[in-house]
């Protein structure tokens, strides 16, 4: 069990970078959603042009974060108003819980997302 | 860049609260150093009485422990009393020699309990009641000694007496005045209070002045002598005869003091580098001894220290609650009944209930409640908002109407509920959990409780109950938010009204322009203010302001209702609730084609298609070829109708066609919240016009128009606005009322909230009595709706395509 836990924490060597869209395909202060068998992913862009990617499931009751209102570096879940951090996927206190976040980068005008295999 | 240095002297509730506020809005402006004379970090002083009574422990009442200071990078010096301020070199020096330089200094030195200048005041066993140390001495004494005398029958004295009694001592309260708590209570309420405290075993000596405290050979107190010659044995004497602002340090530094450190509206002393908050200050000649005003001061002070500089402290209306278990007592404002005031009194001595409200010019100026304090928050709000009450005068005494409130088993008295009983039916929060959170997490405001427990954060129907729990747990420290001056959200200090005014008068046409002009604290607002500003812009400048889809809640952005699984529902518009075989066939075909799992008839006489994938929405709309029903929007939803005179044997008016006309004239109308209407063809009212935002009822000679009803969270019966003769008049009056609501209500207020706030009289004046204004309002609404497109038709034709398309799945 301990070994399995350690393994799952080593993303770099097995992960790959995938181009998902151009940053400007995501509306400013908005999000787009990627349907995916392992769980949909939401990609966000804020007013500063920073992009983020989270598993599209609120840590509260699984609401689609891609449908929420984005401000600063946060998104508000459309179902019950939890505020989730775009960088780490964690709910703002006093709520607790995190959804998975994925590394992103912009290269040659494309938004790349790092997905585990 | 070097940070500025902020030093705070005094580590009580006012000071620590100011720091919290400051760190919230400007965490990086200052290096902060704090000096506290007590050995403890910041604790909730108002909960010392429950500690004394054995209901809570010291640990329970800590607000900011030592870790908090460390976590926030604040240097904390405990047990160090500051002896000197050197204003020339800008530094403070503690008694032990510790020094700290400052750019800004904050004095929060609090107050000292007043010690009677009588012989024996310094004997062992004689103490005041102010801090954890005093409380511990009393708890200790209660285990060893039998007889206690409390001098002072005010709030603090009675709480001390009750605590000592609970710990098993024989307690006598000695009071100089004719009745207890004379500054908060009138004679009647004080008499009732005395009776219930006597029933708990306390004894009272009123009209009695203490002349001497007598000591025994061991140097410990053994009795008390009174001016009239009587004597009483005592092993413990507690003086609770008032407090004096602690201005010693400020005075020694040459700061102007007059019954407190004198401060201006931004909490600055005569030396503008030096601020002061809390019980030590005198603001506009008033020194406050209760917690709530201190918090208001802290907020303003933090705002100014953070260089925002918009906040002004304008004084507080204070209220009092006695924290003695089993006694419900409340007082606020001026209840002395001075010239020009009148009173409404309800007195049931047998039932133990006394309510007295003092009015002046149709406004509540003061009140005393005993035995039933359920409505204290409401009265206090009316008082603080200076609201005209003449319309509700006949039932003012019976409190806010709780009838029809659902979700908490019909209860409206929090005190009578047991801990496991559910207060918030939306989020399943029991009373016990709320009270525990208030105590353990040090919560003081409704907003705090909502954040931490979720109670009252969904539909809000239990807000009154939560307010009662706050009031009974933290006492007078709970102050309901002043509705009239409530800021729009945490991003600004401006109220809804101020924001709207700026948008109108300065022709602001975009959210960013409004935020810039009003100096928003956050770069792009939050999920509360952005939708509100977006609405205010569109309402003030139709056809000109720019709509921002990203500032709309998902339902209004996608033009469909999001469901718990992330799918959407689609409700096509059927004007007046009338449909046709052709429409029904199309609906059936769409449900088949897109495999829509549920088809349901709604409460507003429409058909709901539930479980539509977002990607399918434009196709569904194209195939339905029906207008948007706006069931997802803060907009006109439906006009519900009964059959009316065309078919019904009782109908006296053609309600169906009246409803169709209204809906055709008003659909696509956005509003501060959803708007529901109904038209009935006779007073049997089968369309339920009595619980709609605008309800129309046909009578033989015309139409009656009712407004501001609500069938939701809290059932509210609509109020009669006017009776008219013609269909054109129905359109004009209904439209004018809705435009008034659109222009004046706060975002997310339903018509019932808006009308309650401004009063039906005001509405009648503007709509019924002023024909020109009515016609102008109606014309403005028609202008706003002119050319407003059907959002579904546009999107079926390809508008905002990306909103509905997922990105391609990565390979």
Q: Where are the alpha helices (DSSP H) in B200-309?
A: 248-252, 291-305
Does CATH place domain B4-111+245-305 in 3.40.50.300? Answer: no
Q: Which residue of B has its CA nearest to A46?
A: B524
Query: Which uninterrupted H or E stretch holds B703?
Result: strand B702-707
Mean pLDDT computed over B690-701:
96
Residue B384: the pLDDT is 83
Question: Residue B810 and residue A18: Cβ atoms within 8 Å?
Answer: yes
Q: How confident is the model at residue A8 (pLDDT cuts 50, 70, 90)?
A: very low
Q: How confident is the model at residue A30 (pLDDT cuts 50, 70, 90)?
A: very high
Q: Is A63 within 8 Å of A78 (Cβ atoms)?
A: yes
- Radius of gyration, CA atoms only, chain B: 31
Same topology, domains B4-111+245-305 and B553-628+794-811? Answer is: no
Lowest mean pLDDT among B319-328, B373-382, B451-460, B498-507: B319-328
CATH class of A29-115: mainly beta
Residues of B in contact with A67 (CB under 8 A): 554, 558, 562, 566
Work out the average pLDDT over B729-750: 97
Residues of B with Cβ-Cβ distance to A68 under 8 angstroms: 527, 554
Mutate to test the interface with A, among B20, B25, B562, B566 (most CBs of A within 10 A): B566
d(Cα B16, Cα B29) in Å, to the nearest integer? 17
- HSE, CB side, 13 Å, CA atoms: give it for residue B204: 25
Considering only the beta carbons, identify the residue of B458, B527, B810 that sits closest to A71. B527
pLDDT for residue B337: 77
* The 3-state secondary structure of B122-153, one letter per residue: CCECEEECCCHHHHHHHHHHHHHCCEEEEECC
**Facing B550 at nearest CB: one of A28, A48, A64:** A28
User: Which residue does chain A place closest to B566, by CA atoms?
Assistant: A64
Which of A25, A29, A42, A99 to mutate: most B Cβ within 10 Å? A29
pLDDT digits (tens, 9 = 90+) for B259-285: 999 999 999 999 999 999 999 999 999
Condensed to tens digits (0 to 9), the pLDDT of residues B72-107 reads 999 999 999 999 999 999 999 999 999 999 999 999
Contact B554 A76 (CB under 8 A): no
- The fold of the B635-789 domain, in CATH, is Sulfite Reductase Hemoprotein; domain 1 (3.30.413)
Per-residue pLDDT for B696 more than 80?
A: yes
State residue B793's pLDDT score: 97
pTM above 0.80, yes or no: no
Cα distance between residue B28 and residue B8, in whole Å: 16
CB pair distance less than 8 Å for B564 and A79: yes
Domain B319-396 adopts which CATH fold?
Answer: Enolase-like; domain 1 (3.30.390)
> Top-level CATH class of B553-628+794-811?
alpha beta
Q: What is the mean pLDDT of residues B781-792?
A: 96
Q: Which CATH superfamily is domain B414-484 in?
A: BFD-like [2Fe-2S]-binding domain (1.10.10.1100)
Q: Which residues of A touch B566 (CB under 8 A)?
A: 63-64, 67
Contacts of B558 in chain A (CB under 8 A): 67
**Interface contact B807-A115, CB threshold 8 A:** no
Of B457, B524, B564, which has the smallest distance from its Cβ to A29's Cβ? B524
Cβ B575 vs Cβ A73: under 8 Å: no
Are B807 and A71 in contact (CB < 8 Å)? Answer: no
According to CATH, the superfamily of the domain at B126-241 is FAD/NAD(P)-binding domain (3.50.50.60)
Asked if A27's CB is within 8 angstroms of B549's CB, the reply is yes
- Percent of residues, chain B, with pLDDT higher than 90: 70
pLDDT number for residue B152: 95
Which of B441, B523, B810 minimises the CB distance to A115? Answer: B810
Q: Does A67 sit within 8 Å of B802, measured CB to CB?
A: no
CB atoms within 10 A of CB B797: 11
**In this complex, how many residue pairs, one in chain A and one in chain B, have their CB atoms less than 8 Å apart?**
84
Is pLDDT at B118 greater than 50 in this prediction? yes
Instruction: Summarize pLDDT for B347-396 with one digit per residue, the tens.
Output: 998 888 899 999 999 999 999 999 887 788 788 888 888 888 888 888 88
Q: Which of the 8 DSSP states describes residue B736?
A: H
- Cis amide linkage into residue B395, ω under 30° from 0: no
Print burial letters for B557-573: b (CB count within 10 Å at least 16), e (below 16).
Answer: bbbbbbeeebbbbbbbb
Residue B659 has pLDDT above 70, yes or no: yes
Could you tell me the two tokens for B680?
């009935």
The answer to whether residue A10 scores a pLDDT higher than 60 is no
Cα separation, B376 vs B322, whole angstroms: 13
Distances (CA, A) of B23 to A72, A93, B18, B27, B451: 18, 16, 9, 4, 19
For residue B459, the number of C-alpha atoms closer than 13 Å in the C-beta half-sphere is: 16
B407 pLDDT band, cuts 50/70/90, is low
Q: Best interface-test mutation with B: which of A53, A78, A95 has the largest number of B CBs within 10 A?
A: A78
The confidence score (pLDDT) of residue B771 equals 97
pLDDT at residue B753 is higher than 70:
yes
Residues 6+ apart with CB under 8 A from B582: none
Per-residue pLDDT tens digits for B615-640: 999 999 999 999 999 999 999 999 99
Task: Assess whether pLDDT exceeds 50 at residue B254.
Answer: yes
For chain B, domain boundaries: 4-111+245-305, 126-241, 319-396, 414-484, 487-552, 553-628+794-811, 635-789
Model pLDDT for residues B191-208, shown as the tens digit of each residue: 999 999 999 999 999 999
The pLDDT of residue B810: 67
Mean pLDDT, chain B, rounded, equals 91
pLDDT given for residue A4 in this prediction: 41
Pairwise CB contact (< 8 Å): B550 & A70: yes
Interface probe, candidates B489, B522, B554, B614, chain A, greatest A C-beta count within 10 A:
B554
Q: Select the more confidently predicted residue: A15 or B82.
A: B82
B133 Cβ neighbours under 8 A, 6+ residues apart: B38
């Amino acid at each position: 069990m301990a070994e399995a836990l350690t393994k799952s924490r080593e993303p770099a060597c097995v992960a790959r970078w995938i181009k998902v869209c151009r940053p400007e395909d995501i509306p400013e202060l908005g999000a787009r959603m990627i349907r995916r068998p392992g769980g949909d992913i939401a990609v966000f862009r804020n007013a500063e042009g920073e992009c983020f990617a989270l598993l599209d499931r609120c840590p509260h009751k699984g609401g689609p974060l891609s449908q929420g209102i984005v401000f600063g570096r946060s998104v508000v879940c459309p179902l019950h108003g939890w505020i989730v951090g775009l960088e780490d996927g964690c709910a703002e206190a006093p709520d607790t819980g995190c959804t998975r976040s994925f590394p992103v980068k912009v290269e040659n005008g494309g938004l790349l997302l790092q997905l585990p295999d | 860049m070097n940070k500025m240095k902020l030093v705070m002297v005094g580590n009580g509730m006012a000071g620590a609260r100011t720091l919290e506020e400051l760190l919230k809005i400007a965490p990086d402006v200052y290096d902060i150093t704090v000096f506290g004379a007590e050995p403890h970090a910041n604790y909730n002083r108002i909960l010392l009485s429950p500690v004394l009574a054995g209901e809570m422990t010291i640990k329970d009442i800590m607000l900011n422990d030592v870790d908090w200071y460390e976590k926030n990078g604040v240097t904390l010096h405990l047990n160090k009393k500051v002896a000197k301020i050197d204003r020339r070199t800008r530094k403070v020096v503690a008694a032990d020699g510790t020094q700290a330089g400052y750019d800004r200094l904050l004095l929060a030195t609090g107050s000292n309990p007043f010690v009677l200048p009588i012989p024996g005041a310094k004997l062992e066993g004689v103490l005041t009641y102010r801090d954890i140390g005093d409380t511990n001495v009393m708890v200790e004494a209660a285990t060893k000694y039998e007889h206690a005398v409390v001098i002072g029958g005010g709030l603090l004295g009675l709480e001390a007496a009750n605590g000592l009694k609970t710990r098993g001592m024989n307690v006598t309260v000695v009071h100089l005045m004719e009745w207890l708590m004379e500054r908060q209570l009138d004679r009647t309420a004080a008499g009732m209070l005395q009776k219930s405290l006597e029933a708990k075993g306390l004894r009272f000596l009123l009209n009695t002045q203490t002349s001497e405290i007598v000591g025994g050979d061991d140097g410990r107190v053994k009795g008390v002598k009174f001016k009239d010659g009587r004597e009483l044995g005592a092993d413990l004497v507690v003086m609770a005869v008032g407090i004096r602002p602690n201005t010693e340090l400020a005075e020694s530094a040459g700061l102007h003091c007059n019954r407190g450190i004198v401060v201006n509206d931004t909490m600055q002393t005569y030396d503008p580098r030096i601020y002061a908050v809390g019980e030590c200050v005198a603001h506009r000649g008033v020194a406050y001894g209760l917690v709530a005003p201190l918090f208001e001061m802290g907020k303003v002070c933090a705002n100014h220290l953070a260089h925002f500089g918009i906040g002004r402290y304008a004084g507080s209306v204070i209220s009092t609650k006695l924290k003695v278990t089993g006694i419900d007592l409340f007082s606020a404002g001026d209840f002395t009944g001075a010239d020009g005031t009148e009173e409404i009194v309800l007195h049931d001595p047998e039932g133990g209930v006394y309510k007295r409200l003092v009015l002046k010019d149709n406004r509540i100026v003061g009140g005393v409640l005993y035995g039933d304090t359920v409505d204290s928050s409401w009265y206090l709000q009316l008082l603080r908002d200076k609201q005209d009450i003449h319309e509700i005068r006949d039932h003012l005494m019976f409190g806010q109407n709780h009838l029809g409130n659902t979700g908490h088993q019909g209860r409206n008295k929090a005190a009578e509920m047991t801990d496991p009983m559910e207060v918030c039916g939306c989020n399943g929060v029991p009373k016990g959990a709320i009270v525990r959170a208030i105590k353990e997490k040090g919560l003081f405001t409704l907003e705090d409780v909502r954040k931490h427990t979720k109670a009252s954060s969904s539909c809000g129907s239990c807000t009154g109950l939560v307010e009662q729990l706050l009031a009974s747990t933290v006492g007078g420290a709970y102050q309901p938010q002043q509705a009239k001056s409530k800021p729009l959200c945490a991003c600004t200090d401006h109220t809804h009204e101020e924001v709207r005014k700026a948008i109108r008068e300065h022709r602001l046409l975009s959210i960013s322009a409004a935020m810039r002009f009003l100096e928003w604290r956050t770069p792009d607002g939050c999920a509360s203010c952005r939708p509100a500003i977006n609405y205010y812009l569109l309402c003030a400048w139709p056809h000109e302001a720019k709509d921002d889809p990203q500032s709309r809640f998902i339902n209004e952005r996608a033009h469909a209702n999001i469901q718990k699984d992330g799918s959407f529902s689609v409700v096509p518009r059927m004007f007046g609730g009338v449909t046709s075989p052709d429409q029904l066939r199309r609906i059936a075909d769409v449900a088949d084609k897109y495999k829509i799992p549920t088809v349901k008839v709604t409460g507003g006489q429409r058909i709901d298609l539930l479980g539509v994938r977002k990607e399918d929405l434009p196709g569904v709309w194209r195939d339905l070829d029906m207008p948007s029903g706006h069931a997802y929007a803060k907009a006109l939803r439906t006009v519900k109708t009964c059959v009316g005179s065309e078919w019904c044997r009782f109908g006296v008016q053609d309600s169906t066609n009246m409803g169709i006309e209204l809906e055709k004239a008003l659909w696509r109308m956005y509003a501060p919240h959803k708007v529901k209407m109904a038209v009935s063809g006779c007073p049997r009212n089968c369309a339920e016009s009595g619980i709609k935002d605008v309800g129309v009822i046909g009578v033989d000679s015309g139409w009656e128009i009712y407004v501001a009803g609500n069938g939701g969270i809290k059932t509210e019966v609509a109020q009669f606005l006017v009776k008219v003769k013609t269909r054109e008049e129905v359109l004009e009056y209904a439209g004018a009322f809705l435009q008034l609501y659109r222009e004046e209500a706060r975002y997310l207020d339903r018509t019932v909230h808006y009308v309650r706030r401004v009063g039906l009289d005001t509405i009648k004046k503007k709509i019924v009595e002023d024909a020109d204004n009515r016609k102008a309002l109606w014309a403005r609404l028609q202008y706003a709706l002119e050319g407003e497109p059907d959002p579904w038709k546009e999107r079926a034709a390809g508008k905002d395509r990306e909103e509905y398309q997922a990105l391609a799945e990565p390979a």
